[in-house]
Structure 1
Amino acid sequence: MSDSSWTDRIVGDRMTVDQQFASQIDGSEFSNQQWSLIMTATEFEIENPGDPERARIVANTEQVDQIIPELDNIQAGMGGMGGAQGGSGGSGGSGSVVDSIKGALGLGGGSGDSHAEQLEAAERLTQRYADELQSHLESEGKWDAVREMAADEA
């Protein structure tokens, strides 16, 4: 077992959570392609793995800032629709069409503001995903074993 990490051990669980989380992506400001890129740049860690009461999965999004410009390229390639094509709600998702129109008209904040907003939205959504993943592991009775494995790796 020492040859694999806790993240390797939960690949199947991640696929299950990915499917369950799809509706939240549809309701967000990100397209599926953008979300895939965000997830590629996100690492998941277990904070306080040795403490069963305080341990939790957290999304490490330090690398996401580097891919934010590519999110714009993906959106531009999709005609600027972003995640708004499938949903009309979600946290912050309803503003994406308005933001696109404002941007096209030269109104609103500069690209720095947009990038900061995208980064914040990505951080919120990836942490929500991490919470869902931990909840899934708990409901499947796998959380303690995964947490202990992470503690051993630390």
Structure 2
Amino acid sequence: MPMPEAPGGRGGQDVVELLEEQHARLRRLFDEVVRSEGAAREERFGELAGLLAAHEAAEEEMLHPFARGRIEDGERIVGERLEEEKRVRAGLHALEELGVEAPEFAERCAALRDDLLAHARAEEREEFARLRETSERDQLENLAKAVKAAQAVAPARPGGRRTPR
């Protein structure tokens, strides 16, 4: 997927644009997982788990350290996001252990979706918006490149297990 051009024709995609696009993709994947069954559910869930693992790993490695030192009250804000991410990872691991064919899978997946959406909204409102206010566009573009590089080598599944992409 090509990187969209920045407003006004400048540079490439910035980290906020990149991560917000991934949040939207995660929302769609959660919906697809809940609506699907059998092999289609297994495939969509694998895609969801892989994207979520790479997304969160890159945020923890690249975005959060930058935000901690860049935004007012960064330690608190990042700490709260990390706690939310920890709960989401635990919920995802529980779903993996449960298996997509379990009768309660769809209900538990929908609950995890709600947790992830609350986390994404808080991240976008508190962390991303403040990064936009306190950072230059080129800094955010460079951070997007670093996040993409981190995602390329991140574990494809929670808990560090790499699976083919």
TM range (shorter): 0.3 to 0.5
Structure number with higher strand proportion: 1
TM-score, length-scaled by structure 1: 0.39
TM-score, length-scaled by structure 2: 0.37
Indicate the structure (1 or 2) with the bigger Cα radius of gyration.
1
